[in-house]
Amino acid sequence: MRTRWMLGMLVAAALAAPAAQAQETNESGIRTETQERLRSGPPKIDWLNLLGALGLLGLLGLKKEHGEDSYHPASVE
């Protein structure tokens, strides 16, 4: 039942959203930002971004290996 409600809300939101506007042609001869970026060539690699991407690898340690990974005291037998 909950899935139906969520699906219904998603469809309603998609129908209520305005349609994307078509891009206007650039008749003025002034280059857009996208055209400038494409003309300037490939971007330089920022070392802080690489360091952040490396830090995201640490999230792999949060992955649960199996069902017994949760913390709870073991019973003493």
pLDDT at residue 47, rounded to an integer = 86
Kindly report, residue by residue over 31-56, the tens digit of the pLDDT.
888 888 888 888 777 888 889 889 89
Q: What is the pTM of this model?
A: 0.30
pLDDT at residue 43, rounded to an integer = 76
Fill in the amino acid letter for 19: A
Q: Provide the sign of the torsion angle of the four alpha carbons 23, 26, 32, 34, taken in this order.
A: positive
Residue 8 has pLDDT above 60, yes or no: yes
